[in-house]
Amino acid sequence: MTTIMPEGDAIRKAIKWVCASLQEDPKRTIANLAQEAIGRFDLSPKDADFLLRFYQDQKAGANPVQS
């Protein structure tokens, strides 16, 4: 299954940052990291919604992101 990535650079950076942060500290929660990424990368409401749904889908068993 192919993961669809949005066109915006900020959302791509946010997803990469969340993934890297989880690898550095697996004890951090995705919800907290996602909220921090929304502010850190100044995501639009649409991109923020995408980020939250992206990680909900990942948690539900979708394929992980390939770099």
DSSP-derived secondary structure for 2-33: PPP--S-HHHHHHHHHHHHHHHH-TTS-HHHH
Long-range contacts (CB closer than 8 Å, 24 or more residues apart) made by 53-61: 54/15, 55/18, 55/30, 55/31, 58/30, 59/30
pLDDT band at 6 (very low <50, low <70, confident <90, very high): low
- Model confidence over 46-67: pLDDT tens digits? 999 999 998 887 777 655 555 4
- Model confidence over 9-52: pLDDT tens digits? 999 999 999 999 999 999 999 999 999 999 999 999 999 999 99
* This model's pTM is above 0.85: no
Return d(Cα 45, Cα 28) in angstroms, integer.
Answer: 23
